[in-house]
């Protein structure tokens, strides 16, 4: 069942391509049925989870590596899965109207469904490796969605930035998860959690956790990696609402919550998450007030809330799990709605700048009403669900698990972010819908199509209705999620108003009040200097880093691949020697006797002596042809040695390779000047000679060590014994090639083919030269003017009979 | 490429013999020295001899073989004969043999067919390489017709 949930979305993906045809709204409605069905199915599973159950499904994948597709549904997974499928339904519907008329809509749906499947897989996975696979898939689909408008450099930059940062963090995460799995002895999440004490006692706990934090912080846009999220706002608004606010960016929070039950409760966890979460929360809240772009404002407010969630996951205390779950739900509800509404405003008014917008409440009354309600929820104004969640946050902050001193700091920070939350909520509503009519908008602004308002309307309704009587039911629904996060049996109880007036309520009201007062000073606050020093600009650091990597890579490539064959040879030989020589020197010669000349026949000795003579002749040759002949002589002598020692297969192969090598060399060298010209200084030549000698010695050493080792019995005996019985062949060499080691041969012919592709591309597909000859590949038109017959070496060779027959139209032009 | 009537005629005579020899090497490979790699090299040398004697265009027009495709086909063909092992749930490339030997060829099994894939790959890669080199315009310049003088020459 659980696998089917994940697979359904992935299988739906290609169907999304149908959205390129008309009538699009209808297709959008039909497509939205899929996530709706998933939502219904997950809801149908809910009673079992609510009763404290846990659904599991395992499909073995690579059993020997401990890889399996293991899925489980518990309270936390269910909360996220419901959000992913529920908001997914609304987003799919919204897209049909938002992107109406856009030719790439099919592609957008394709990626959106891939993301949906990946995100469902991520939250349902019960194996860290399965989870990681889906984790990376969400990064990739986010990349494709942010880069949807790939004609724009800013979209490409935003996409690449998000990808590099989240996937870079993903790499760290993978290492962390593998460390965790190795310590726990299992990659199953439930077993890792069961081994919590053992992991915490292990020396790998700190590195593993730090790496996992890195993965979570990059994914969930925590300071100092937060800057990719505003840049990801280049995505079409449905993707921003879905990925970059409601679901994907919460993946990091999800993982932290998942590991919370047994792996938290250490100073490392407490201080890292509290510090990073608090910083992110404050920076996001402050910077959101300096943004002019409404999507940018919403992005920074999202960063702020993600910081709040990390803080709640980190700081401990009895109320924190409940507050975390309530915040996740509240945020998904109001932020998903606000993003979609911002998209509607952008769609109709054709601008997202607060400076250019204004007074839209008359032109877009429904959008205005929904935005006001959702913004009130974002500001935490009473009787909306955002207020309930903020109450929970303040409860948790008052009763946190931090040491004295620090607990006050956290409390003040939470209140401060609430104050700024009021301010940016007010800016959003007043800037777009109130005041004089904006200057930069379209001439006639209309209300957004009803299809674009359905989603935000539903989400806003939840924000409004849940606190009005549905709070006990909501708490019941969220309790399993709290159980999954908390190790102390925390209880969630949501109140619209607490029975007694305590510190949290006073703080909440104070925040509202201060926020309301601050709205009077909005211009000053917007114009205030940035809270971050100018050098701490993530965008700029990112650009510098990417630039530096590219420049470094260029410099590295220029040094290593300078187009001179001799320097390629130098680097290849040197790196081989560097890798092979140390183990050879340390271990290769243990217990080996020096070879003796006993039993070597005189003619064998002479043939061996001829090889070095051939090598010297090659080096001394004055002409290219002479060098080729001398080098071939060396090869032939080697083949002869194979014959002497009865290795006919090797001898045959060596002989043929030698012949063909000579042919290729002649083909290349025939057109070059007959004699060599010295291009290098004598000192350089001595250096190259030394490298060559060292390389030769190392390989001679390997050959010697391999053939004279007495410690290991040679594998050839086993092969010889089994060649006839197992491989049905008398020729052991060939049986090894095609049967015993057939997979190696497979690899070799693939390498051979890749080499051909490389040479072909280099000679035929390079710009300019050889391009004219491409159609010579189709032998049907050999004499077309673009592909005249090649003539050997510039000399007009006698045309072959075929060429004489063929019309030589090209010659006349 | 090399304008020699002796080479051209001898190579034309040699061609079928070399091809037969390569097939012989391929077939006998399982029990005696030979095999797909050696056979492939022999066949490739047959083609390359034609390239040297009569020129690459002659080889392209008279054989009508796209050696690049032949090499690709060889790799895929070889890979294909590893699949039966997977289908039966065993390891990739597990060998399967016919019970009875086929008269004139000997025992037939997936390794022999795999060897044919190697044979085709080696022929394709080696010959295509020689063709690419022999047709390389910087080595063997194309005799281009002289550019039409001042057809649309920009005035300086």
Of A195-199, A317-321, A770-774, B117-121, highest mean pLDDT: B117-121
* Mean pLDDT across A710-732: 73
Contact B34 A649 (CB under 8 A): yes
Contact B57 A753 (CB under 8 A): no
- A162 vs A139: CA distance, rounded Å: 8
Statement: residue A395 has pLDDT above 80 = yes
More confident residue, A226 or A714: A226
**Res. A65 pLDDT band, cuts 50 70 90:** low
Judged by a CB distance cut-off of 8 A, whether residue A172 touches chain B is no
The partner residue sitting opposite A746, judged by closest CB among B35, B82, B129, is B82
| Digit-coded pLDDT (tens) for A258-280 | 998 888 888 888 889 999 999 99
With a CB-CB cutoff of 8 Å, which residues 729-748 of chain A face chain B? 729-731, 733-735, 737-739, 742-743, 745-746
**Residue A393 pLDDT:** 87
Contact B78 A746 (CB under 8 A): yes
User: For chain A, what are the domain ranges?
Assistant: 1-260, 264-528, 536-560, 564-711, 713-768
Percent of residues in chain A assigned helix, strand, coil, to nearest 5: 75, 5, 25
CA nearest to A469, candidates A383, A557, A392, A380: A383
**Res. A776 pLDDT band, cuts 50 70 90:** very low
Report phi then psi at A209, rounded to 5: -65, -40
**Residue A97 pLDDT:** 87
Contact B82 A773 (CB under 8 A): no
Residue B150 lies in a domain: no
Cis ω before A224 (30° cut-off from 0):
yes
Contact A802 B61 (CB under 8 A): yes
Helical H runs in A195-293?
Answer: 196-201, 205-219, 228-231, 237-241, 251-263, 267-288
The partner residue sitting opposite A797, judged by closest CB among B29, B55, B71, is B55
The partner residue sitting opposite A773, judged by closest CB among B133, B137, B139, is B137
Quick one: what percent of chain A has pLDDT higher than 90? 26
Contact between A545 and A227 (Cβ < 8 Å): no
Question: ipTM of this model?
Answer: 0.87
Contact B143 A782 (CB under 8 A): no
Quick one: what percent of chain A has pLDDT higher than 70? 92
Residue numbers in chain B where pLDDT is lower than 50: 143-145, 151, 153-156
- B125 vs B40: CA distance, rounded Å: 10
Q: Is A491 exposed, middle or buried (0-12, 13-18, 19+ CB in 10 A)?
A: middle
* Mean pLDDT across A52-66: 77
**Element containing residue A69 per DSSP (H, E):** strand A67-73
- B56 vs B139: CA distance, rounded Å: 13
* Mean pLDDT across A143-154: 89
* Mean pLDDT across A396-410: 83
Statement: residue A21 has pLDDT above 90 = no
- B85 vs B81: CA distance, rounded Å: 8
Contact between A652 and B34 (Cβ < 8 Å): yes
Q: How far is CA A304 from CA A220, A281, A288, A449, in A?
A: 11, 4, 8, 31
Residue B39 lies in a domain: yes
* Mean pLDDT across A134-142: 93
**Residue B104 pLDDT:** 66
Q: How far is CA A362 from the centre of its chain?
A: 44
Residue of B nearest to A656 (CA): B41
Statement: residue A300 has pLDDT above 80 = yes
- A344 vs A449: CA distance, rounded Å: 9
**Res. A783 pLDDT band, cuts 50 70 90:** very low
**Residue A775 pLDDT:** 43
Contact between A613 and A665 (Cβ < 8 Å): no
Q: How far is CA B35 from CA A650, B24, B25, B31, B114, in A?
A: 11, 9, 6, 9, 11
Contact between A479 and A471 (Cβ < 8 Å): no
**Residue A773 pLDDT:** 45
Residue B59 lies in a domain: yes
Q: Is A338 exposed, middle or buried (0-12, 13-18, 19+ CB in 10 A)?
A: buried
Average pLDDT, chain B: 82
Statement: residue A782 has pLDDT above 60 = no
| Digit-coded pLDDT (tens) for A94-119 | 988 888 878 888 888 899 999 999 99
Read off the tokens for A526. Answer: 């917007």
**Residue A805 pLDDT:** 39
Helix (H, G, I), strand (E, B) or coil at A59: strand
Instruction: Name the CATH architecture for the domain at A564-711.
Output: Up-down Bundle (1.20)
Bridge partners, B97 (sequence order): B109
| Digit-coded pLDDT (tens) for B7-38 | 889 999 999 999 999 999 988 887 788 888 99
Judged by a CB distance cut-off of 8 A, whether residue A767 touches chain B is no
* Mean pLDDT across A352-357: 84
- A792 vs A307: CA distance, rounded Å: 72
Rg (CA), chain A: 35
The domain of B58 spans: 5-134
Buried b / exposed e over A634-671, threshold 16 CB at 10 Å, is bbbbbbbbbeeeebebbbbbbbbbbbbebbbbbbebbe
- A396 vs A411: CA distance, rounded Å: 9
Bridge partners, A353 (sequence order): A293
Contact B37 A750 (CB under 8 A): no
Statement: residue A387 has pLDDT above 70 = yes
- Both ends of chain B: CA-CA distance in Å? 42
Number of domains in chain B: 1
**Res. A66 pLDDT band, cuts 50 70 90:** low
**Res. A83 pLDDT band, cuts 50 70 90:** very high
Average pLDDT, chain A: 84
More confident residue, A773 or A255: A255
Residues of B in contact with A785 (CB under 8 A): 145
- A137 vs A13: CA distance, rounded Å: 13
The partner residue sitting opposite A663, judged by closest CB among B36, B66, B130, is B130
| Digit-coded pLDDT (tens) for A316-336 | 888 888 889 999 999 999 999
**Residue B45 pLDDT:** 93
**Res. A729 pLDDT band, cuts 50 70 90:** confident
Judged by a CB distance cut-off of 8 A, whether residue B75 touches chain A is yes
More confident residue, A165 or A26: A165
**Residue A810 pLDDT:** 36
**Residue B27 pLDDT:** 86
**Residue A520 pLDDT:** 85
- Crossing angle of helices A471-485 and A320-349, rounded to 10°: 110
**Residue B105 pLDDT:** 65
């Amino acid at each position: 069942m659980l696998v089917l949930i994940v697979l359904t979305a992935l299988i739906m993906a290609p169907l999304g391509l149908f959205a390129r045809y008309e009538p699009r709204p209808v297709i959008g409605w039909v497509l939205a049925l899929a996530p709706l069905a998933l939502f219904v199915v997950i809801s149908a599973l809910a009673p079992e989870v609510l009763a404290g159950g846990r659904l599991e499904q395992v499909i073995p994948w690579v059993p020997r590596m401990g890889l399996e597709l293991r899925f489980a549904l518990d309270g936390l997974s269910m909360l996220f899965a419901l959000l992913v499928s529920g908001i997914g339904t609304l987003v799919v519907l919204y897209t049909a109207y938002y992107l109406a008329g856009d030719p790439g809509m099919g592609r957008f749906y394709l990626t959106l469904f891939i993301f949906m499947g990946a995100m469902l897989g991520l939250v349902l996975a019960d194996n860290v490796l399965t989870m990681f696979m889906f984790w990376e898939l969400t990064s990739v689909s986010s990349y494709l969605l942010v880069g949807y408008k790939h004609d724009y450099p800013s979209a490409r930059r935003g996409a690449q930035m998000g990808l590099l940062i989240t996937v870079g963090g993903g790499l760290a995460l993978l290492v962390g998860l593998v460390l965790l799995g190795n310590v726990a002895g299992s990659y199953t999440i439930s077993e890792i959690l069961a081994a919590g004490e053992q992991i915490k006692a292990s020396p790998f706990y700190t590195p593993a956790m730090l790496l996992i934090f890195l993965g979570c912080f990059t994914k969930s846009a925590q300071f100092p990696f937060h800057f990719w999220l505003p840049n990801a706002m280049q995505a079409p608004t449905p993707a921003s609402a879905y990925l970059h606010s409601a679901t994907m960016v919460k993946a990091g929070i999800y993982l932290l919550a998942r590991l919370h039950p047994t792996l938290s409760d250490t100073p490392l966890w407490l201080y890292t998450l509290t510090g990073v979460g608090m910083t992110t929360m404050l920076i996001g809240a402050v910077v959101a007030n300096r943004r002019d772009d409404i999507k940018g404002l919403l992005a920074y407010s999202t960063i702020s809330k993600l910081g709040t969630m990390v803080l709640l996951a980190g700081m401990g205390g009895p109320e924190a799990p409940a507050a975390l779950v309530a915040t996740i739900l509240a945020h998904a509800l109001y932020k998903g709605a606000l993003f979609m509404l911002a998209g509607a405003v952008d769609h109709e008014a054709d601008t997202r700048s607060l400076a250019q917008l204004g007074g839209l409440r008359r032109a877009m009354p429904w959008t205005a009403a929904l935005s006001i309600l959702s913004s009130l929820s974002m500001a935490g104004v009473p009787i909306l669900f955002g207020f309930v969640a903020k109450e929970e946050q303040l409860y948790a902050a008052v009763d946190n698990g931090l040491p004295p001193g620090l607990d006050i700091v956290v409390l003040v920070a939470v209140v401060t972010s609430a104050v700024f939350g009021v301010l940016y909520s007010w800016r959003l509503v007043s800037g777009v819908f109130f005041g004089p009519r904006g200057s930069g908008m379209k001439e006639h602004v209309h209300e957004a199509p009803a299809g674009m308002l359905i989603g935000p309307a539903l989400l806003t309704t939840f924000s409004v209705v849940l606190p009005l009587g549905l709070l006990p039911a909501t708490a019941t629904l969220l309790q399993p999620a709290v159980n999954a996060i908390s190790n102390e049996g925390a209880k969630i109880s949501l109140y619209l108003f607490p029975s007694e007036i305590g510190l949290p309520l006073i703080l909440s009201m104070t925040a509202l009040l201060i926020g309301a007062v601050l709205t009077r000073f909005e211009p000053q606050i917007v114009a205030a200097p940035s809270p971050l020093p100018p050098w701490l600009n993530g965008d700029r650091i990112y650009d510098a880093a990417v630039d530096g990597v590219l420049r470094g890579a260029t410099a590295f490539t220029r040094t290593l691949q300078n187009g001179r064959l001799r320097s390629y040879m130098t680097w290849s030989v040197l790196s081989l020697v560097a890798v092979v020589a140390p183990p050879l020197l340390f271990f290769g010669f243990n217990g080996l006797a020096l070879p003796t000349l006993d039993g070597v026949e005189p003619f064998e000795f002479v043939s061996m002596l001829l090889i070095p003579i051939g090598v010297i002749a090659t080096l001394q040759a004055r002409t290219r042809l002479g060098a080729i002949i001398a080098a071939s002589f060396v090869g032939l002598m080697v083949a002869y040695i194979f014959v002497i020692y009865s290795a006919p297969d090797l001898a045959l192969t060596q002989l043929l390779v030698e012949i063909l090598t000579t042919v290729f060399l002649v083909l290349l060298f025939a057109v070059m000047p007959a004699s060599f010209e010295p291009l290098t200084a004598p000192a350089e030549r001595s250096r190259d000679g030394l490298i060559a000698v060292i390389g030769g010695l190392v390989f001679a050493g390997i050959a010697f060590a391999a053939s004279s080792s007495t410690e290991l019995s040679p594998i050839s005996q086993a092969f010889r014994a089994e060649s006839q019985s197992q491989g049905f062949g008398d020729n052991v060499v060939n049986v090894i090639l095609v049967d015993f080691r057939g997979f190696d041969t497979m690899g070799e012919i693939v390498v051979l083919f890749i080499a051909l592709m490389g040479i072909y591309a280099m000679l035929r597909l390079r710009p300019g030269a050889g391009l004219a000859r491409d159609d010579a590949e189709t032998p049907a038109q050999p004499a077309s003017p673009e592909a005249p017959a090649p003539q050997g070496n510039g000399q007009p060779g006698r045309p072959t009979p075929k060429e004489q027959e063929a019309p030589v139209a090209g010659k006349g032009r | 490429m090399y304008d020699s009537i002796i080479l051209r005629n001898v190579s034309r005579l040699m061609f079928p013999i070399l091809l037969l020899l390569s097939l012989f090497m391929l077939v006998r490979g399982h029990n005696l020295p030979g095999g797909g790699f050696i056979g492939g090299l022999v066949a490739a040398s047959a083609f390359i001899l034609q390239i040297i004697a009569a020129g690459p265009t002659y080889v392209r027009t008279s054989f009508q073989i796209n050696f690049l495709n032949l090499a690709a086909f060889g790799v895929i063909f070889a890979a294909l004969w590893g699949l039966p092992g997977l289908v039966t749930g065993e390891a990739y490339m597990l060998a399967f043999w016919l019970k009875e030997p086929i008269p004139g060829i000997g025992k037939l099994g997936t390794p022999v067919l795999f060897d044919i894939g190697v044979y085709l790959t080696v022929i394709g890669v080696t010959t295509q390489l020689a063709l690419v080199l022999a047709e390389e315009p910087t080595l063997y310049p194309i005799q281009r017709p002289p550019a039409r003088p001042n057809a649309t020459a920009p005035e300086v």
